[in-house]
Every structure is written in C-alpha cells, then in structure tokens.
Amino acid sequence: MIEQSETYSDQLLGFTLPDRDARGRAVRLDGIVDEILSAHDYPPAITHLLAEALVLATLIGGLLKNDAGQLTMQAQTDGGVVRLLVCDYRAGELRGYVDFDRERLAALGANPSLEALFGKGYLAITFDMEGENGRYQGIVPLEGETLSAACESYFMQSEQVPTLIRVAARHDGQHCVAGGFLIQHLPDGEEGRERIHARLNHPQWEHVSIISGSIRHDELVDRELSLEALVWRLFHEEEEVRVQKGASLVRGCRCSLDHYEQVIGRFPEADRADMRNDEGMIEVDCSFCSRIFTVAA
C-alpha cells in the first residue's frame, strides 16, 4: 500500500483484496460525531447507539459509486423505548437523529440491550439512486445484539453478499469517537457479479472473514492508528492490498429557510392555515440539528 498521507479520522478509506475477491471500507468518526450528537442532550445509551448507527451509515453509504446517491438507514418500533432512529449519508454528508422515551429508557439501566431498546423492531436500508437505478429498499428485523448484526443480515438477505461488519464507540463524558470496518465477498468482481446463495463456504471468503473478525474494538477507536495501518495489520501477508481515500465527512443537515419555504408552499392554503401560530407564522423544527425555522407562508 502506497499513500502520500495516511487517514485517521472523519474520512472514509476504501480497500480491495484482488486475490481474495473482497472489498471493504474503514472509517473513524471523531469531531463530526461530536458535532452531530451536540444537537440533542442524549443520555449515554442513546449516544452509543447513534454513534454506532452513524458509522454504519457511513460504511454502507460509502459503497455507493455515484455522489448523487443517498443511503438512508431507519430503525423503528411500535411502542419501543426508541421510537425512531434515522441516519443518512450522501457524498460525505452525514446526519442522524434518535427519538426515544426518556423515562422508559432510564428504567432500563446503564447498558440496555438492542432488544430492550427496540423490542420487535425492524431496520430499513434505502438506496436512492439517480437515473435508471431508482430507489430500492431492504427491510430486516432488529434481531441479534447490535445494529451491525442487523446490517450483516440485510446484505445476506437482500443482496446475497456475505458481509462482515465491526463497529466500536467510546465516550468519555465529553467527547465521542466511533470507528467501523466493513468487508464483503465479491466472487465475480464488483461489477455485474452473480448473486450468490450457496457459496458461503468459498475458501477465499472464509480466510478473509476469519482474519477480519480478529479486529479489536480498541483498534477501531484508536485516534493514533491510521486506517491504512489498521488494514495493513490485518492483511499484510496478502499478495496485494489496494487502498483508496474516500470522501471527507461533514455534518450534512440540509435544512434551510428556503428549503422549508418551498416545501410548505406546496401545501394547499387550508393546510397552511392550520399550521400557522397566533402570529400567522409557521414554525418548523428540524430534528437533525435541533433548529427552529419560522416561515411566513
């Protein structure tokens, strides 16, 4: 691997193992995750959950080849402690939000399980693509111990692509850092590959998944360890490892007064009349960035 500068935080790193028919993404969120989390006063359990979800959205969204495409990941329940978790990624722009019942969460203790948070919830992963590819979505139950496990199930069930994902998050009470690693088996090349069903025992994937599974949580959140060095630790015995820097990451809340004026302007006058307050204005609260916009409409 030859790079002029190494990648540490708030930027994606892509890599491929040509001889093993595998591709992957690695990321570490540092300043950006603090910026997104600062929009709301999240308790520790929700901070950890959202940090993990932001990493997953970045890893999966980073698989998109077209910068105009968007990945949206939404976890939802009917009556769960977490009512809604949503993150999206587009061309390096990342945002996320969690709506939850604070009183019920407090009753769960310090480290609630995924099942305790979501109950019988589901995870929807949606790709919005430009052109002929359009929009497609996969939905899987929120089963297992982590959101990462649910995302692995998505790739296996909806894409039939064996995928291993590892995510870690650390919060010291003031700052949060979260990292993730995703690797996939592409037996017939990245373009136009045949969907696989009974090929999970492919020897190349078995080798890659065993090595990838050895990655440690502390490595993912170690600010002093570059992502290139992390990949090299795992695959230094391979004949060839190709790395490519991906998008730099920024908080991507796309709210603006102009945007909301356009959206509200599409509603019939009768609906807009119902929305107005006593001063004749319409207030719009952006859940992602916790800002309130006042629209004269």
Q: Is the pLDDT of residue 244 over 80?
A: yes
pTM over 0.85: yes
Q: Which residue has the higher pLDDT, 205 or 257?
A: 205
**Residue 254: pLDDT above 80?**
no
d(C-alpha 283, C-alpha 35), whole Å: 24
- Is there a single domain that holds both residue 41 and residue 188? yes
- Whether 33 maps to a domain, the answer reads yes
Q: Does some domain include residue 5?
A: no
Residue 1 inside a domain? The answer is no
Check whether residue 213 and residue 267 sit in a common domain.
no
Domain residue limits at 236 = 11-251
pLDDT at 147 over 90: yes
Six token digits for residue 54: 């932001």
Q: Are 15 and 77 in contact (CB under 8 A)?
A: no
Calpha distance 10→293 (Å, rounded): 29
Alpha carbon distance 60, 63 (integer Å): 5
Q: Tens digits of per-residue pLDDT, 86-125?
A: 999 999 999 999 999 999 999 998 889 999 999 889 999 9
DSSP the chain: ---SS---SSEEEEEEEGGGTEEEEEEEESHHHHHHHTTS---HHHHHHHHHHHHHHHHHHTT-S-TT-EEEEEEE-SS-SEEEEEEEEETTEEEEEEEE-HHHHHTT-SS--HHHHHSS-EEEEEEE-SGGG-EEEEEEE--SSSHHHHHHHHIIIII---EEEEEEEEE-SS-EEEEEEEEEE-TT-SSSPPP-SS-TT-HHHHHHHHHHTT--HHHHT-TTS-HHHHHHHHHTTSS--EEEEEEE-EE-----HHHHHHHHHTS-HHHHHHH--TTS-EEEEETTTTEEEEE--
Do 153 and 272 lie in a common domain? no
In a domain, 3, yes or no: no
Give the pLDDT score at 132: 58
| Confidence band for 146, pLDDT divided at 50, 70 and 90 | very high
- Looking at the 3D structure of the chain, how many domains does it have? 2
Residues 242 and 271 in one domain: no
Residue 133 pLDDT grade (very low, low, confident, very high; cuts 50, 70, 90) = low
pLDDT-based confidence at 201, cuts 50/70/90? low
Q: Report the CATH number that the domain containing residue 160 is assigned in CATH.
A: 3.55.30.10
Whether residue 199 lies inside any domain: the answer is: yes
- Whether residue 2 lies inside any domain: the answer is no
